[in-house]
């Protein structure tokens, strides 16, 4: 089940909300827990037990860490907990990738293990790890009610594709959260905006990207259409999901932190990663980069720390070499900026720094979507006509005309232009009148597209 499905929009969500608001406050967490497990069962019936086991082990280890927090055994229990959590993640997500490379490099013939990737395992594993580390550090109180901990881990708005919600963020709201009509209305507004992002922009551009990867058509124009579309698709797909998750959180009384802040207006790659997938980059900063020493160490170790973080960031996104290359690519770019380039970026006009960021990020998503090194190299070099390819073809002109409007809408929507206009005093009264009508129209159009269309997967489900 996905948020952008008829089953979720017209059956699961209305029924869950109705029951949630009917029952007394003491039963609301239980309603959310049951609903979350039902939600996950629709997508992964086999791996519900795996998630339940992960929750149980996290609960037990949290208790043991807390009981021994003034002794050396707290670290022992934390290490054991991390071995279990990371071990399960490696087993289900990376084992076949490891076997594939062992077979390739050592000429072995080890059989692959027959397991599917559990949906959302990267997200809920990182949430459990952050909880355990925060308990160990004394930054979070241990949760002694297993049902409340299970509700936190399995909470369906953010279970499948984030944002990565830390226990400390909603610790107080698990016990006591407020429900108001204003917050509920804000949640509906945010959810519809996210749904429109996903269905009307990401899905439409996703169809183009899928067509491109299946065709042998090559031209400079077509490569640029694909590169820009892929860049916009992944942004609107993931930020749309995050918007829906944040909106659903508000409907149930939670305040999730923002996960995107217009990353395509960034002035540097460093700035880009302060704006893109904020929950992931801050997670690696607090639980990997800083514990390794961060930048408060020798220059060699500092550079090592950056590359470790970005190697892990790439691996987190998927068990394939293109993700590893993608992570290391950003690690190298960030090192170059931090060592000397940032001082020059500050001096040149902003328009050039924006172009610099957009081109490098566009290349990164070509790497991200690449199925082989040869394909990645071909797609990148074709952007500048290397390989004796034509500038345009009748097919590329056709796709340019067909997708011109969604691409332009996507470009405008990826900037704060509309938000800034809406917040000006001159237009606030008009916006207040038109907003409910606009949201209703967007919802109707989005659901119409869902009914008629078939392309509807969330890209981050595979993570």
Closest Cα to residue 228, out of 426, 419, 410? 410
| 440 has a pLDDT exceeding 70 | yes
- Nearest C-alpha neighbor of 324 from the set 335, 332, 316: 316
pLDDT tens profile 285-311:
999 999 999 989 999 999 999 999 999
Closest CA to 40 of 166, 153, 196: 153
CA dist., res. 8 & res. 397, Å (int): 38
Is the pLDDT score of 415 beyond 90?
A: yes
Closest CA to 310 of 288, 293, 290: 288
Q: Read off the pLDDT of residues 396-413 as tens digits, 9 standing for 90 and up.
A: 899 999 999 999 999 999
Model confidence at 455, pLDDT cuts 50, 70, 90, reads low
Q: Please, are residues 286 and 294 in contact by the beta-carbon 8 Å criterion?
A: no
How far apart CA 389 and CA 380 sit, in angstroms, is: 13
CB 268 within 8 A of CB 359: no
Side-chain half-sphere exposure of 272, counting CA atoms within 13 A: 23
Judge whether 194 and 161 are in contact, CB under 8 Å: no
Q: Extract the tokens encoding 230.
A: 């892929």
Report residue 384 CA to chain centroid gap. 30
pLDDT digits (tens, 9 = 90+) for 9-32: 999 999 999 999 999 999 999 999
Task: Give the H/E segment covering residue 269.
Answer: helix 269-275
- Mean per-residue pLDDT for 326-348? 93
What sign for the dihedral angle of Cα 92, 93, 96, 99? negative
Backbone angles phi, psi at 111, to 5 degrees: -75, 145
Using the structure block, give the residue that is written with the tokens 């217009």: 262
Please, which residues have CB within 8 angstroms of residue 195's CB and are 6 or more apart in sequence?
Answer: 3, 4, 240, 244, 442, 443, 446
- Give the pair of three-digit tokens for residue 379: 């797609």
Backbone angles phi, psi at 120, to 5 degrees: 75, 10
CB 5 within 8 A of CB 450: yes
More confident residue, 294 or 423: 294
Rounded CA-CA distance 272/339 in Å is 17
**Three-state DSSP class for 164?**
coil
Average pLDDT of the segment spanning 98-106: 88
- Cα separation, 30 vs 149, in Å, equals 11
* Closest C-alpha among 223, 218, 216, 212 to residue 388: 218
- What is the Cα–Cα distance from 273 to 271, expressed in whole angstroms? 5
pLDDT bracket for residue 375 (50, 70, 90): confident
Whole-model pTM: value is: 0.91
- Return the half-sphere exposure (C-beta side, CA atoms, 13 A cut-off) of residue 57: 21
Residue 253, pLDDT score: 94
CA-to-CA separations, 179 to 28, 141, 255, in angstroms, rounded? 11, 24, 11
Helix (H) or strand (E) holding 337: none
pLDDT on residue 359 = 96
Catalytic residues: 317
The pLDDT value recorded for residue 236 is 96
CA distance 86 to 408: 42
Q: What percent of the chain has pLDDT over 90?
A: 70
Nearest to 254 by CA among 173, 167, 188: 173
Q: What is the pLDDT of residues 66-84, one digit of tens each?
A: 999 889 999 999 999 999 9
């Amino acid at each position: 089940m996905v948020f952008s499905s008829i089953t979720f929009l017209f059956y699961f969500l209305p029924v869950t909300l109705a029951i949630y608001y009917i029952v007394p406050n003491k039963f609301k967490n239980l309603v959310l827990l049951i609903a979350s497990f039902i939600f996950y069962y629709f997508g992964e019936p086999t791996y519900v037990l795996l998630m339940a086991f992960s929750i149980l082990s996290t609960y037990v280890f949290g208790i043991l860490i807390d009981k021994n927090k003034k002794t050396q055994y707290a670290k022992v229990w934390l290490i054991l907990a991390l071995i279990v959590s990371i071990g399960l993640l490696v087993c289900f997500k990376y084992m076949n990738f490891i076997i594939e490379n062992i077979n390739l490099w050592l000429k072995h013939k080890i059989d692959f293990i027959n397991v599917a990737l559990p949906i959302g395992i990267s997200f809920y594993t990182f949430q459990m790890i952050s909880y355990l580390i925060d308990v160990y550090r004394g930054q979070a109180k241990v949760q002694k009610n297993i049902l409340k901990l299970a509700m936190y881990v399995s909470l369906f708005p953010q279970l499948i594709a984030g944002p990565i919600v830390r226990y400390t963020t909603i610790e107080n709201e698990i016990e006591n959260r407020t429900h108001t009509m204003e917050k509920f209305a804000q949640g509906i507004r945010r959810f519809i905006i996210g749904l429109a992002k996903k269905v009307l922009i990401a899905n439409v551009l996703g169809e183009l990207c899928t067509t491109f990867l299946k065709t042998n058509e090559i031209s400079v124009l077509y490569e640029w259409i694909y590169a820009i579309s892929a860049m916009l698709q992944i942004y609107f797909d993931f930020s749309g999901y995050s918007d829906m998750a944040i909106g659903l959180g508000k409907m149930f009384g939670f305040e999730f932190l923002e996960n995107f802040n217009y990353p395509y207006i960034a002035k540097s790659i460093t700035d880009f990663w302060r704006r893109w997938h904020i929950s992931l980059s801050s997670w690696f900063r607090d639980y990997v980069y800083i514990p390794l020493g961060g930048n408060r160490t020798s220059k060699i170790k500092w550079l090592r720390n950056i590359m470790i973080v970005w190697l892990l960031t790439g691996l987190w996104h998927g068990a394939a070499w293109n993700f590893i290359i993608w992570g290391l690519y950003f690690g190298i770019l960030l090192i170059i900026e931090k060592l000397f380039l940032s001082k020059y970026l500050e001096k040149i006009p902003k328009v050039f720094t924006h172009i610099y960021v957009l081109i490098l990020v566009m290349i990164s998503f070509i790497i991200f979507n690449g199925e082989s090194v040869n394909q990645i190299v071909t797609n990148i070099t074709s952007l500048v006509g290397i390989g004796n390819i034509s500038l345009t073809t009748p097919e590329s002109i056709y796709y340019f005309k067909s997708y011109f409007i969604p691409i332009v809408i996507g470009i405008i929507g990826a900037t704060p232009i509309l938000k800034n206009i809406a917040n000006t005093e001159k237009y606030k009264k008009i916006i207040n009148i038109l907003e409910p009508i606009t949201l209703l129209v967007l919802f109707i159009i989005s659901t119409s597209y869902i009914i008629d269309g078939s392309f509807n997967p969330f890209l981050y489900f595979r993570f």
